Structure 1
Amino acid sequence: MATDIKDIVHPVDSAAIMSLLGARPRLLALGEPTHGADTLLGLRNELFRQLVEREGYRTIALEVDCLAGLLVDDYVTGEGAPELGLDEVMERGFSHEWGAFPGNRELVRWMRAYNEGRPAPDRVRFAGFDGPLEITGGASPRPVLTALHEYLTARVDADLLPCTADVLDRLIGADARWTHPDAMMDPSRSVGQSAQARELRLLADDLVALLDAQAPHLIATSSPQEWDRARLYGRTATGLLRYHFWLAEPSAGRMTWLLGVRDSMMAANLLALAERGPVLVNAQNGHLQRGMSTMAMWDHPRLEWWGAGALVSTRLGREYAFVATALGTIRHQGVDAPPSDTVEGLLYALGADRAVVDAPRLATELTAQGDAAPAARVSSWFGYSPLDPEHLADADALVFVRDVRPGQAQR
């Protein structure tokens, strides 16, 4: 590819990104092609600081458990968990073991320091927007169902509740039933389609319906944080029970359903956060892109589903912006210089350590050349997902990082 793109490449900062977007979106999604790389986390932290100081952003949402993330939010805002230190917050407040990443630790430390002495409306906030899910399956629904039931019990007539706390406890049973480590590979190990789980799905639906039906009263008798968290508990309870249902399903559509339910839970959390807006969102490119997500997994050569970004974009339109991230090398993981016929190879040849690119215009330029379409880069390391050139035009901007240097990367 001989395309000359120097006039659509800019230094990476929030001003350059905002200039390409043309307006401040409620959700600004910054994708990443690999998890945990210090180089990328440092860049994310830098952009968030700039967005806070220059553009009025006050929330960052990461691809971590939405329930665990509440602990981090309490810590950085100073509104709860005063007895916890940073070490415990990083261990308990991040799922997927991502609290060990130095870049995430530095983010939390900076947010707490920024909030010191500031009034509540001006404080920065933290949110996880993933479900309480790990690779081996989902969490027990006990915490969210119990919290939602307790919230409603304290505020509505007991006759309106669809069940008692004792009934919930009996139906949930032992938490270990829900978290069997073999459930992802063996549907028969999941309790998600048991009689008790099916009844819990109906009760969870009724609890959320009661939350909606009593909204005027509940909002009037709750703090904004109590109301937001009750809604989060409701979304998570119904999504988690749906996830467990499909975890127990032996049919061919099982994995597509599981991937779709997870991203639907992500999308619902992002839409709720957008009401608070503006928010910087950070997750894997595949979760945030507007096009269909794809993955090869075990005996499934190609799984396809709509990711959170695609779902949110259909609801928010231009209030959602997606900035993909591509990279040149991760040499310590065997990812060497990209081939010249790939988008990454074209950007790598520019020599800039970091750059932000007008992605739609780059896609137009590449098409106008009349040459063969850019090749899709192939990675020999499972922890890195190269840019899909077919999705280039759907991104609002593209951040390119030439070299990711050693540091903690995806486990």
Structure 2
Amino acid sequence: MATDLKETIRPVDSAAVMGLLPARPRILALGEPTHGEGALHAVRNELFRQLVEQEGYRTIALESDCLMGLLVDDYVTGLDDASAEDELDDVMTHGFSHEWGAFPGNRELVRWMRSFNAGRPASDQVRFAGVDGPLEITGAASPRQTLTTLHGFLAERLGTGLLPCSGDALDSLIGPDDRWTEPAAMIDPSRSVGQSAQARELRLIADDLVALLVAHAPGLIAASTPDEWERARLYGRTATGLLRYHFWMADTSPGRMTWLLGVRDAMIAANLLALAERGPVLVSAHNSHLQRNQSTMRMWDHPRLEWWGAGALVDAELGAGYAFLATAVGTIRHQGVDAPPSGSVEGLLYALPGDHYLVDAGRLAASLGEHLPDARVSPWFGYAPLDPAQLAAADGIVFVRDAEER
């Protein structure tokens, strides 16, 4: 078995990745089984650097707030201040959700992107994007930023005659932001305002605002820079998705959590497809968001939730234009994840030499045949092991032997 497995591995570099695929994908997805591990960030950063320098990739997207990410993109493409370390501190604090700006690997990525862009024309610069909605596990943002920005964009270019309401009326309907950000609403739907009369009217307004973007696209594009147009579309997608998310936060049916998970991943997928319009994208997010198979998880009193993740949705749209590399690790000792059982997929890979490598997932699945290894059970909730039954649905596996604390 070990001899066969050795024939499936190769270095983690852009040439090896492209060698696994029939053509350069429009979206190359690099999953991760846990968040925040420096060793995984180091592998991601080096692969992105190679994809930029050797394969023409110019966008990296992370599982972070799509609106906050605009601050990061402005920083890496705006080079007026050559000594911007103080500004970088602010960007890392306010440009990432889930407190991921504190991770050294993300800081290194942003610093490298800005350095790469120095002296380059805008058309050749690398770009940053968050693709997640403005959502946290405990709740979601107020729709104020998305709705008022989109309303202002349209009012400036179309006038107010076609808009479904005035700016003052929009502000009144939104009301205080803390009504929308109530943390208790995730556990108690009755604390959510997502199905109030005002929220229902806002959904109709958001739909009309997005309809104006579509109906007047030629004139709006002519009156805007490419970035202004792209961001207007982003605000439109986010406004409608966010209001839909709030609606289901207030729901009491058994399908509530499935809806919330599905809405989130649909927002991620829509953002990825929009980014791919400007060129090939490397996206880094949890394996469960990027895999082709249906995703599952346990949460609170739900023993098994099932939904289609962003990867499955994008794959259905792009086919061969989407590629997925799952990531697995051998150990995360500082989290109590010790050497994997020898009978698991991770255990078989852990027995091979090397700190990290790329595995041909198709050849690995073929070598294992019908007798699949046992599924690894993680002692730490923050790490999701590989599902042996899903190996063949990945294009490759990035295996990191030891995720050491940094």
Please say whether Structure 1 and Structure 2 have the same fold, judged by a TM-score greater than 0.5: yes
Contact 1:31/1:284, CA 8 A, preserved across alignment: yes
- Write the distance in 2 (CA, Å) between the matches of 1:203 and 1:376: 48
| 1:162-202 deviations in Å (ceiling 9; x for gaps) | 11101110000000000001111000110000000000000
Q: Does 1:387 align with 2:386?
A: yes
User: Cα offset for 1:3?
Assistant: 6.8
User: Cα offset for 1:365?
Assistant: 1.4
Contact 2:48/2:282, CA 8 A, preserved across alignment: yes
Q: Which residue of 1 is the match for residue 170 of structure 2?
A: 168
Contact 1:70/1:93, CA 8 A, preserved across alignment: yes
Q: Where does the alignment leave 5 or more consecutive residues of structure 1 unmatched? A: none
Q: Which residue of 2 is the match for residue 36 of structure 1?
A: 36
User: Cα offset for 1:80?
Assistant: 8.6
Q: Specify the code of the residue in structure 1 equivalent to 2:34.
A: T
- Write the distance in 2 (CA, Å) between the matches of 1:276 and 1:61: 13
Q: Which residue of 2 is the match for residue 223 of structure 1?
A: 225
Q: Residue 130 of structure 2: SS of its match in structure 1?
A: strand
Contact 1:75/1:81, CA 8 A, preserved across alignment: no
Q: Specify the code of the residue in structure 2 equivalent to 1:64.
A: S
Aligned to 2:286, which of 284, 287, 310? 284
Q: Residue 36 of structure 2: SS of its match in structure 1?
A: coil
The answer to which of 31-40 and 4-13 deviates more is: 4-13
| Equivalence map 1:22-171=2 (5 Å) | 22-78=22-78, 85-171=87-173
Contact 1:65/1:133, CA 8 A, preserved across alignment: yes
Q: Residue 385 of structure 1: SS of its match in structure 2?
A: coil
Q: Specify the code of the residue in structure 2 equivalent to 1:235.
A: R
Q: Which residue of 1 is the match for residue 277 of structure 2?
A: 275
Q: Residue 399 of structure 1: SS of its match in structure 2?
A: strand
**Percent identical across equivalent pairs?**
73
Contact 2:59/2:282, CA 8 A, preserved across alignment: yes
Q: Residue 128 of structure 2: SS of its match in structure 1?
A: strand
Contact 2:372/2:389, CA 8 A, preserved across alignment: no
- Write the distance in 2 (CA, Å) between the matches of 1:33 and 1:49: 22
Q: Where does the alignment leave 5 or more consecutive residues of structure 2 unmatched? A: none
| Equivalence map 1:367-378=2 (5 Å) | 367=369, 370=370, 372-378=371-377
User: Cα offset for 1:2?
Assistant: 6.1
- Write the distance in 2 (CA, Å) between the matches of 1:255 and 1:3: 45
Structure 1 residue ranges (4+ consecutive) displaced by more than 4 angstroms after TM superposition: 79-84
| 1:307-329 deviations in Å (ceiling 9; x for gaps) | 00000000001111001101101
Q: Which residue of 2 is the match for residue 326 of structure 1?
A: 328
| 1:323-372 deviations in Å (ceiling 9; x for gaps) | 110110111111111111111111111122111011012111111xx5x3
- TM-score (normalizing by structure 1): 0.96
| Equivalence map 1:339-378=2 (5 Å) | 339-367=341-369, 370=370, 372-378=371-377
| 1:268-323 deviations in Å (ceiling 9; x for gaps) | 00000010121100000000000000000011111000000000000001111001
Q: Specify the code of the residue in structure 1 equivalent to 2:330.
A: G
Q: Residue 324 of structure 1: SS of its match in structure 2?
A: strand
- Write the distance in 1 (CA, Å) between the matches of 2:2 and 2:73: 48
CA RMSD between the two structures? 1.4
Q: Which residue of 1 is the match for residue 253 of structure 2?
A: 251
User: Cα offset for 1:81?
Assistant: 9.7
User: Cα offset for 1:51?
Assistant: 0.5
- TM-score (normalizing by structure 2): 0.97
Q: Which residue of 1 is the match for residue 13 of structure 2?
A: 13
| 1:141-181 deviations in Å (ceiling 9; x for gaps) | 00000000000001114221111101110000000000001
Contact 2:93/2:99, CA 8 A, preserved across alignment: yes
- Write the distance in 1 (CA, Å) between the matches of 2:372 and 2:358: 21
Q: Residue 252 of structure 1: SS of its match in structure 2?
A: coil
The alpha-carbon distance between structure 1 residues 335 and 373, as it changes in their structure 2 partners (threshold 3 A), is same
Q: Specify the code of the residue in structure 1 equivalent to 2:55.
A: E
- Write the distance in 1 (CA, Å) between the matches of 2:2 and 2:41: 32
Contact 1:137/1:183, CA 8 A, preserved across alignment: yes
